[in-house]
Structure 1
Amino acid sequence: MTIATPIRPDLSFDEIQAFLYAEARALDDRDWDTWLTFYHKDCPFWMPAWDDEDKLTEDPQTEISLMFYPDRAGIEDRVFRIKTDRSSATSLPEPRTSHNISNIEVLAREGSQIKLRFNWLTLSYRYGQTDQHWGTSYYTIDTAEGRPLITSKKVVLKNDRIHHVIDVYHI
């Protein structure tokens, strides 16, 4: 699958939105190989934990995180485990998901880098039960390598009291 987003450093809001939607679609379609192409090799993927009711942990190296991969190799390992059923955290069968994105904001543009914030809601269905997860994501995307790539991803899960393991496809 290819991304239909024109490539240039000054991505329009519509192109940014299309990029985010295409990443979400790859997750919903369980198209893991395509999903990985959205990430730069040095991209950290971090979901901090809530330290208390209103404060997030601030350092994935020294504090608890709900999820942390320091670079794309960690994300690739997670995808490998999902695809090969080599993880106790893998949900079998994989849930059907629907990722919904809203309130996309461009926070800053610095050269080829674009800092974004957006809200999301993911519905997932498995074993006759529907679950929902929602939160806010913070991305830095970079167009210097010819097409947009996520160079930093922070996901804030707002409903962190969950009754099962949460995985990359839930967020």
Structure 2
Amino acid sequence: MTVATVTRQDVIDFLYSEARLLDEWKLTEWADLFTDDASYNIPPIGHPESDATEYLFFAHDNRSRLQERAERLLKKEAHVEYPHSTTLRNYHNIMIDDLESEVINVECNFTTHRTKREVMDTFIGRHIYEIVQENNELAIKSKKVILHLDSLRPHGKISLIL
């Protein structure tokens, strides 16, 4: 598969595969979807265009930090997520830019439902991706998660990967 042969459906299937890996708590496999120079960012609510040097981000990870986050969340010592939450992710309104480009820009809305200890939380927002090809496979060069929430209630934190 070359960049010229990537179809819209290839990209959509890739995103759905990402969602499945996260829902199944296959976090190391999820981290493997990212390039070596990748970034994963969750800016503060209400400040999606902010700079991480000036604002506190929920996540501002490079590839190695992303791997560490994935491995840490899988350990029993990660009390906030052990046992793991049950999640269900939906990606919708997927908009894909130029498939012929070296970097494919993708935006989609998301809904992540999470249940744990008889409490259900719903996270909604927008994902912004830069997707590239590496070794004839699609890979995530960057992922930005923009939360469309008024606040993180009731717990005030994000304990899972969005």
Q: TM-score, normalised by structure 1?
A: 0.84
How far residue 93 of structure 1 moved from its aligned partner, in angstroms, is 1.6
- Per the TM alignment, residue 144 of structure 1 is displaced from its structure 2 partner at its CA by 4.1
Task: Figure out how many residues of one structure are paired with residues of the other and give that number.
Answer: 159
Structure-1 residue corresponding to 2:65: 74
8 A contact 2:94–2:107 mirrored in 1: yes
Work out whether 1:83 is the aligned partner of 2:74: yes
Aligned to 2:148: 158
Aligned AA (1:35)? W
Matched residue type, 2:142:
S
- Report the CA distance between 1:61 and its aligned residue: 2.5
Q: Among all aligned residue pairs of Structure 1 and Structure 2, give the percentage whose two residues are the same amino acid.
A: 23
Q: For residue 131 of structure 1, what is the aligned residue in structure 2?
A: 121
Give 5+ residue unaligned stretches, structure 1: 1-6
Q: Give the CA deviation at 1:57.
A: 4.7
- Equivalent of 1:103, from 79, 93, 99? 93
Q: Are 1:42 and 2:34 an aligned pair? A: no
| Cα contact 1:112–1:144 (8 A) shared by 2 | no
2:3 maps to amino acid: P
* Distance verdict in 2 for CA 1:130–1:61, change over 3 Å: same
Paired residue for 1:121?
111
CA distance in 2, matches of 1:112, 1:100: 27
Q: Which residue of structure 1 aligns with residue 23 of structure 2?
A: 28
- 1:78: Cα distance to partner? 0.7
The amino acid of 2:69's aligned partner reads R
Paired AA for residue 9 in structure 1: V
Aligned-pair CA distance for 1:66: 1.8
Q: Take 2:84 and 2:30, find their aligned partners in 1: how far apart are those partners?
A: 16
What code does the residue aligned with 2:103 have? Answer: Q
Give the letter aligned to residue 143 of structure 1. Answer: Q
Is 1:63 matched with 2:63?
no
Match for 1:8: what amino acid?
Answer: T
Mapped to 2, the partners of 1:150 and 1:168 lie a distance apart of 19
Aligned residue type for 1:96: T
Q: Secondary structure at the match of 1:43?
A: strand
Question: What is the deviation of 1:62?
Answer: 2.6
The answer to whether the aligner puts 1:112 opposite 2:102 as a matched pair is: yes
Distance verdict in 2 for CA 1:115–1:57, change over 3 Å: closer
